[in-house]
Amino acid sequence: MEEAYAAQNKRSRIILVPGFDMVICLHRESRVGMHRHPQYEAYHVMVGGLLVDIAGSVELHHGDNPIVTIPAMTWHEPRAAKEFVIYREFYCGPFDKERDVIYAPEEK
């Protein structure tokens, strides 16, 4: 969490399997931006709570129902529900940011 708080974009990540699996820590001030991918992805909340804006907001908390799958080409944005959230992100990769992240026009 200290690494995420100290980062300019207020987030940090540990890559477990390049292009497929990582652990992300977001501070509540971090903004990923509304985006979509050509493949599905899933989030699994490990610590704290995650707000996922998917045509409305879905809130996930560790211990409740902490997993959400985001279908391919669905606009979404993850945000911390409290000060920090730590979640695991699975991507149906391999992932190439230049090819696989499409930001909403207002996010560029």
Does position 49 have pLDDT exceeding 70, yes or no? yes
Pairing of strands 77-91, 57-61: unpaired
Instruction: Give the 3-state secondary structure of 63-97.
Output: CCCCEEEECCCCCEEEEEEEEEEEEEEEECCCCCH
Lowest mean pLDDT among 18-22, 77-81, 82-86, 94-98: 94-98
Region 53-67: mean pLDDT is 70
How many structural domains compose the chain? 1
SS3 105: helix
Q: How far is CA 85 from CA 27, 66, 92, in A?
A: 7, 12, 22
**pLDDT confidence tier of residue 60, bands split at 50, 70 and 90:** low
* CATH number of residue 98's parent domain: 2.60.120.10
Among 91, 44, 52, CA closest to 75:
52
Per-residue pLDDT tens for 4-48? 878 889 899 998 998 899 999 999 999 988 999 999 999 999 999
Q: Provide the residue range defining the domain that includes 14.
A: 2-107
